[in-house]
Structure 1
């Protein structure tokens, strides 16, 4: 950890300075990074956390935006985790702005040439230097291939990988420090969130992976002329550059105000919902951010999706669990709900099962036997996440991403046709998944898998037992003890010691100064009468005093 701090000292100082600026100086002090601030900033630091009247969610959002692309992406991930963070903070983080000043076209052309091995003019018949969109990780430009196809080129910003790697290393360090200092951080497994984020941002920067996900959905809808997914041009794509078919049609805002000719809002809404459910519950790869900017609409009630940079992945087990969750809630089956959430998530050791089931019953009573048309899936998902959050149950990212996407989708179709209900359209998918689960072939596969895992675990038991007994015999067994208040106690003792040192220094300074004044006044030292002994001594003592004082302040424990 120390090596990382030395290697990235400049970035550490930037992060610590911004934390203090937005009123989080007390965290900097508590985790032991206060010494990274310059002395004037240490003195001016506000540890109260109330340096302005802004809501805490807004302060966090502004802070993340100032810290740059890695932290903006972290905030966007956290905005999905309403099962972990308060709603007001999650809502504020959804407003994070990921738009930046475009890079000079000459730099972009140079990057494209480096990736494709040829000048832009040799590869493309046309290249629009005016970018379509500029974000913190990449920017997009329209171009035309030599064969005449209109395409969009998505290119990573130069050196962004170095920036992200440095910030991730620092985030790992900060997570370890925060978990060591705060009990709540350990309970919410901050390190696991950093690990999840690290995987997510690296996946987002891997354009081969984005291309494969886009192509998987493209292939599924290839025979459906009503759903348009951009084609991937692999000959013009690399790990850092992705070339896709250029899709442009009517925008959502135009559809809401006055539907263009040839577009029926109800048909579009139904197709939008079904195409998303097909992605999530059939393909198992779904668009993670289906907001209006990523959707286009065409005559004949056709729908186009763009930008699959953020996708969710659901395997067969996850699809089944999500369907079981909704059906369990609709049927009022508490045992099914509890079992499904148990399979979906990570349960804390201290979970009060009786209270959790009681809260699930309250949730069940709220929706039980209500007609589908009266139930909003967004509200159902929020209520489920609120209940799991209350009991510190951590829901995996892909479920929360699916929940957030469904909430976004519900908001879109409500403005187009408020008579359409997502749950009503989703019911057949859920029933099909459950029936597929009971298929004899699927039951046989799960049984064989379970038997295989049991046998594998059984084979390992003797070796694990031998290893454990050997450690016991050799006295190598360690006992872990958790003393959550120990760090706080040591910190307070350190501050007391520093204040005592400061007081002793003041006393010593006063005694030495008084002695020298008396000696200068009443003593007889003709040899030193011409030397300003008192002045020199005072300067030395003051200098030493300031050195000690500086050391105490830099420790951050005064």
Structure 2
């Protein structure tokens, strides 16, 4: 960790300064990063917890993340999906994070295209629009035409963004581990695991080969469905840093809302959006993670088109079953099924109060039990489930929360087209199908045979493992690992005590020397020294040494 701080010292200093600026100086001081601030800031900054209460916390967090740049903006956007682990008011504020930036010089974009495709832009494309029509912190998008006459859009990653993200992730992981050691709430939230999760997500997002493969998987799934359009990927013009795809031109959501009933069937379009999304999530197991109105095009023949596959969720067979079981458990009023499903979806904390959890789960069930599907809003259901898991410190895996957030977004859009459509009503058959498949005799036989094989394998290995364990115990080679989260805090306090003792000793020594010199000068015991300004020289040297030691102690942040 120390080597990381030395390697990225300038960025560390920027981050620490911004944390202090927005009232989080007490965290900087508690985790031992006080010394990264310049001396003037160490003197004038407020490091008390009261400094964080001068403005709404959620707004300050959003402004802070925006100031810290692309990596932190993306982190905030990911956390905005996690209302299961952060308060709803903070999640709401983080959804306002702005990811629009000034476009970069077209020459740099052309240079990237040449580096990636190995030929000048004029050779690769029949025409290329230098002015981008969309720019964000990670990439910007340009229109072009291939020599074959096909119109395409090109998504180009901003230069150096990968190095910036990698550096920031290293720093984020270090900060998360320091905060976990200092605060109980951080350990309960498992901050380092959240950073690991975020690291995987953002690295996937900047890998345009991966985005292209995701788009192609969904395109292949809908290959026989003429009502759903997915843009074609042009692999000969795509790399990890550059993605070229078919240019789709259709109505935007605002135009669809204002379109006359004679030109489009809004109810049919709404149903197609819902069914196509449920097909992705609960059948294909790969779904568009950000189905907001800006990521759709619509057509007069009631076709729909998905665009931008930067966020894609993946659900295994087990995960699909768990999600549908959760919804069905609520509808059936089956508290036991709900509890079992939530426990299977996520590991439960050691200190979980199961009695209180079951009571809260029963109260949640009663809100929806026996209500008709049309009266239940899936967005409200997902929100309530996340609130419950957050209350009991149960961390829901990201793909579930991404699916939940996508359903909430989708419901908001569908209500504008036809508020009589119920996503839950359309989803119910998928859940029943998954339950029936789960109980299929062949599937159960395969599952039991796998479990039996694993049990037999472990039973065969058990004697050798037991022998090895006993041998280690007998020879004294057994290692015991202990985790002491507060050890660094204790050592930090010991450093402070030692520094204060050193400061006191230096001050005492300085006083004794000064007194001795004054007495010597007064007594006039050394005529030779009377010709030299001994007192002035001694005081000057002592003051310099005193301030050097004092500065070192203060810069350590442990005084």
CA contact (8 A) 2:32 2:492 kept: no
Determine helix, strand or coil for the equivalent of 2:144.
Answer: strand
Return the alpha-carbon distance in structure 2 between the equivalents of residues 486 and 210 of structure 1. Answer: 43
CA separation of 1:464/1:177 partners in 2, compared to 1, >3 Å: closer, same or farther?
farther
Aligned residues: 558
Q: How far does residue 259 in structure 1 lie from its aligned partner after superposition? A: 4.7
Question: Deviation string for 1:119-147 (max 9, x for gaps)?
Answer: 11111111111112111221111111111
Counterpart for residue 4 of structure 1: 4
Counterpart for residue 407 of structure 1: 408
Counterpart for residue 542 of structure 1: 543
Return the alpha-carbon distance in structure 2 between the equivalents of residues 31 and 541 of structure 1. Answer: 33
Return the alpha-carbon distance in structure 1 between the equivalents of residues 326 and 505 of structure 2. Answer: 66
Return the alpha-carbon distance in structure 2 between the equivalents of residues 500 and 521 of structure 1. Answer: 31
CA contact (8 A) 1:140 1:155 kept: yes
Counterpart for residue 47 of structure 1: 47
Q: How far does residue 482 in structure 1 lie from its aligned partner after superposition? A: 4.8
Q: Which is worse superposed, 251-260 or 197-206?
A: 251-260
CA separation of 1:473/1:214 partners in 2, compared to 1, >3 Å: closer, same or farther?
same
Q: Are 1:279 and 2:280 matched, yes or no? A: yes
Q: Are 1:555 and 2:523 matched, yes or no? A: no
Q: How far does residue 111 in structure 1 lie from its aligned partner after superposition? A: 0.8
Counterpart for residue 378 of structure 1: 379
CA contact (8 A) 2:520 2:526 kept: no
CA contact (8 A) 1:436 1:442 kept: yes
Determine helix, strand or coil for the equivalent of 1:154.
Answer: strand
Structure 1: give runs of 5+ residues left out of the alignment.
Answer: none
Counterpart for residue 205 of structure 1: 206
Return the alpha-carbon distance in structure 2 between the equivalents of residues 325 and 270 of structure 1. Answer: 23
Q: How far does residue 261 in structure 1 lie from its aligned partner after superposition? A: 5.3
Q: How far does residue 260 in structure 1 lie from its aligned partner after superposition? A: 7.5
Q: Which is worse superposed, 401-410 or 503-512?
A: 503-512
Return the alpha-carbon distance in structure 1 between the equivalents of residues 91 and 256 of structure 2. Answer: 29
Determine helix, strand or coil for the equivalent of 2:159.
Answer: coil
Q: How far does residue 345 in structure 1 lie from its aligned partner after superposition? A: 0.8
CA separation of 1:296/1:332 partners in 2, compared to 1, >3 Å: closer, same or farther?
same
CA contact (8 A) 1:259 1:265 kept: no
Structure 2: give runs of 5+ residues left out of the alignment.
Answer: none
Determine helix, strand or coil for the equivalent of 1:529.
Answer: helix
Determine helix, strand or coil for the equivalent of 1:286.
Answer: strand
Map residues 209-358 of structure 1 onto 2, 5 A cutoff: 209-259=210-260, 262-358=263-359
Question: Deviation string for 1:415-451 (max 9, x for gaps)?
Answer: 2222211111111111111112122222222222222
Return the alpha-carbon distance in structure 1 between the equivalents of residues 463 and 254 of structure 2. Answer: 65
Counterpart for residue 23 of structure 1: 23
Q: How far does residue 52 in structure 1 lie from its aligned partner after superposition? A: 6.6
Q: Which is worse superposed, 470-479 or 311-320?
A: 470-479
CA separation of 1:262/1:452 partners in 2, compared to 1, >3 Å: closer, same or farther?
farther
CA separation of 1:25/1:249 partners in 2, compared to 1, >3 Å: closer, same or farther?
same
Determine helix, strand or coil for the equivalent of 2:305.
Answer: strand
Counterpart for residue 513 of structure 1: 514
Q: Are 1:87 and 2:88 matched, yes or no? A: yes
Return the alpha-carbon distance in structure 1 between the equivalents of residues 492 and 352 of structure 2. Answer: 31
Counterpart for residue 107 of structure 1: 108
Return the alpha-carbon distance in structure 2 between the equivalents of residues 196 and 137 of structure 1. Answer: 19
Return the alpha-carbon distance in structure 2 between the equivalents of residues 493 and 547 of structure 1. Answer: 21
CA separation of 1:192/1:460 partners in 2, compared to 1, >3 Å: closer, same or farther?
farther
Q: Which is worse superposed, 182-191 or 407-416?
A: 182-191
Determine helix, strand or coil for the equivalent of 1:109.
Answer: helix
